[in-house]
Amino acid sequence: MLSQKVQEAINKQINNELSASYTYLAMSAYCEHENFAGCAKWLRLQSQEEYGHAMRLFDFLLARDGKIALRAISEPNIKFKSLTHVFETALEQEQSTTAEIDLIYELAHNEKAFAALVEMQWFITEQVEEEKTAREIVAKFHLTKDDPAAILDLDRELASRAPDKGGA
């Protein structure tokens, strides 16, 4: 059985992942409203991926005979200045998630919760990829410098994202 501290941290992260899913869904709606279907698709898939992360933690906690304590999810921001701002916000969210995951890893280490360490290792690896992808998209938006043709090309590129078939 996991310590109460580790269970609380994982429950908090389940909430964080569900909140991230909700935020990405709001971002997707913004992009759809602005007629950027490729960005909207990419963000909707990201929302689904974050939900999958929450369920991975949910299932892990249950498998370790932990107690699930679901919490309220805050209303996400729905106002953005631009597509670039949407993806800058996404990058900030991923960086925040990385910090949260690192804290759980450290706690699991200190509590000698070795199964949690292994589980959190997957999330650490995932966060490296999440941040890299978000950083690359933000850099591409900065390169467009509000050029409509370049933004449309980037929107088409983001539309090509396929659903994640991996470990989430």
Residue 18 lies in a domain: yes
- pTM to 2 decimal places: 0.93
Residue 165 lies in a domain: no
Q: Choose among 104, 125, 128: nearest CA to 167.
A: 125
Which range marks the domain in which residue 87 is found? 4-72+81-159
Q: What is the pLDDT along the chain (168 residues), one digit of tens a residue?
A: 899 999 999 999 999 999 999 999 999 999 999 999 999 999 999 999 999 999 999 999 999 999 999 999 999 988 899 999 999 999 999 999 999 999 999 999 999 999 999 999 999 999 999 999 999 999 999 999 989 999 999 999 999 999 876 555
Residue 85 lies in a domain: yes
Residue 52 lies in a domain: yes
Cβ(26)–Cβ(147) below 8 Å = no
Residue 167 lies in a domain: no
Residue 133 lies in a domain: yes
Phi, psi (5° rounding) for residue 65?
Answer: 65, 30
Dmax of the chain from CA atoms?
56
Q: Give the model's pLDDT for residue 168.
A: 56
Residue 62 lies in a domain: yes
Residue 146 lies in a domain: yes
- Residue 18's CATH number: 1.20.1260.10
Cβ(57)–Cβ(116) below 8 Å = no
Sign of the alpha-carbon torsion through 139, 142, 148, 150? negative
- What is the DSSP-derived secondary structure letter of residue 166? S
- The number of domains in the chain is 1
The 10s digit of each residue's pLDDT in 67-100 is 999 999 999 988 899 999 999 999 999 999 999 9
